[in-house]
A and B are shown apart, each in its own frame.
Chain A
């Protein structure tokens, strides 16, 4: 009886979580321009999305921002983790709590604060005739900023576990500091670096709010395109694109999750 009840409950939550996803996937096969009516099955949106310039550029922007911001955030997160562990306890907790701000603060506030910063810098620079263009660079800076705390959270525990004597041994054997760091420490914390990168990548891929405030006109990611299209009606190609991306990430997670770790990737995020 108890077992049956908990099964039913699991199924209930499962339906709640997956109903909208099923709806979206079905839409991507709907042979009708509007969501309102069903026009039969079709693959055509999967073909036509590759012809749509604006969708392709939004996809390109989304991916390049996600890769670059995850990469830079992982490098900065690694540097931050190293220097945080070298700090005295009190100073470390101060820096850590400052680093946590983008994670704990509301996204809308983080987005607005960055937007205002860029506006203020732009006004300052305009005295010399320079301007700040809202677009790729400003969005990238925003994404790196909200990604850093997550990479630190995944890298620092790994770094804490390494045996520092191996690094010292490398130094004693004549390795330079950088060489020893690259060859001894980095391989030891590779799993932390990878999961930090993956988490940052997926967070960036899905972000809307920060992008919304730091982007300029003419620059769109998938999320901001959905937001502006909502009123005039979403192009069916967007459903196809999102379904495709969803399946890609799913495959990626299954491959990575199986190969390197016992627990699924995202359970790391739980600890966040």
Chain B
């Protein structure tokens, strides 16, 4: 007897989704084959598990059964008629027949009707080789269409080409509703519908509009679900069917979706979300699914370049010369200005192995701890706050955990834009009835989730998070909503007592904080009761929590709330930072911070440091090094002279741009390793070509601590992967590193980092992915953290005094600017701006409330000067009811927008994470770009010329140099 309980069959479509894993087994017999499957399994799925493949069209295992095509009709002993196998659940003792003459005739008849209204251009159809309709015509043995092809049909329906990535050809549509259901069930956007009835029914986007004019977010779920060529990637229409595929991990956000990179030789034809991916289960967003064209964009830097000073044109050279030039400079600078005069920045876009090597280079070859990473400017407060309270610098759950949550709090995060695939999963849970509480100055799209049952919006003033979280905790404590058993058994009693006395003070009552936060006491009380009493309460947060002068305090406040209500240590609860970049969790894990060796082991910890010293063969500095903003200050002051930056665009992404520009201009040697001439590279002396995620092997770690493999699908454009470049630089500095493959780097990481001890490429191949801690105690990884105890033993409540930021609205700067992201663009935009995602967002705009606009005589589309104490920039106005009066908002995806010219040097007290989310500004109508923008345009023009000159004058002998 075949038994199937938890099959990991990702490559086959089993027709309907798996039932609950804990369902009781049921025995059935299909075509004489006995099989046991969990209760709730469809006959179609049960048959597929026994490798009995019933023809189907409207069924696919990513969607609930629909029963519309009738192709999967079967006969069940003792039952009348021919029920659809997809909608018929198995029952104990059931005997099913899937093939006989009657069923064959029925299926042929069904197919005959479909094909009578379908173009017969199979040989030239883009789906040729990948068409379920064609396969089913073959499977049922269709040989003739008695109705002819002259009757009423849809063959003249016009194709919608409006979306840049896929076309919609309704002449090929069989109205199976898979696209409509995918848009509803998987993505949760409800952009598609079946319009009309009977023969007239057709798939329509929005109100029967073009896809681009509808609510469609271009996630690709409909394209993925379509069994024909109706919804088809334009890249496949152009290139034809791919011939092989490689499973890899997306290089966009911290969700870390698994994709099949479908290839023709070394040409990437399409990215298809991988059903076996544990983070995304076959779903995707517009970035990962479609926006990969940047990887082969003509702007890619493919040759190393050097120059004596930044006012000179670039000179293309071979790898050897560029590396020797960089090493000589670094050595000379250290000889003149001391060991601590140089440093480096690791990349949250590169792999774990590459990040590990850069910090190793800095600590071992530079001989100091001046290493930092872009997490400094995003989630460093998460590291501090969670380590202090829970003992580990990472989120506590898997993404799937949200499906067990009863109340979900989202604070300062915008998952449907910034973590879209997780946003869709969260929406799915919300449609099932979980309560939603959003604390955000803006009305984010999650609040507009279709079929949302119960949503509460706490529209707080920017900068008042801590006052709000304290008020929530005050309600929990004073209304008797604490989980006393959890607190008694799992938390440090002394810290709890101190915290409880603090939080119970009347000044933290919602009635008292109302004047600070702008959120009504009643709303706060309601939210606290919902979270504390729903059952499973889960908190998700983003940069709207961390990027404040009290970012670390807020993270601790969130942890306090979870501890007080016992919402830690099981599925469905937890404290979940939504990490921004693909490998920002990994870059932190890998020892990028100046005070921590890999695995968050402090540099002053003699035992841990000793292990690294023994393995690396050098003595390591036992004091922390400079953080990014400290490096900038030291550069301007003159004590910091050289910086190696791998895959990070600090000139665009860091706050107070003019300060950053001044710092970069002060350096004697700036080495930038990137795939493009980014903003930082305009201040560089050495430009080393980077490699995209498609060009190397390695691993990324996502926001749920999941280590996923990145697999090379094409050779590096410039001949070297990033990890190989770092090795070359180390060697030139007299510190040889001997690795022939990234797996050897991971082996070293596992030897030196207790939480990674069980991680290896072999184990990753076997398991697909692993969530750290993965070691002897947790050989298969740790999906849910803190189930039994905390790494610090007991959970520690922290005192979270609300200290208002000094950045506040005044007569001179009466508005508060906050910044964020949108779906189609990613971070500084270096990748997405070089794709068709530009059609959704080709400029950053300033959103402001109509009442703020009215008093200033501003109309939609006007040019606005935005001025803060740090600088001025000019953006176009967009009037938006999503904003609250007094608060304005912009994104930073385009360098010329200068969003960070106005953000200030204000930062988190504990970690120096910049306060991007609160800047006091004034806004007024203007007629021309700001002074900074005019200067930016000039620098940009000159630096592009320097690059173009270098490319024009490439010496012929260099072409042979890889």
B partners with A: no
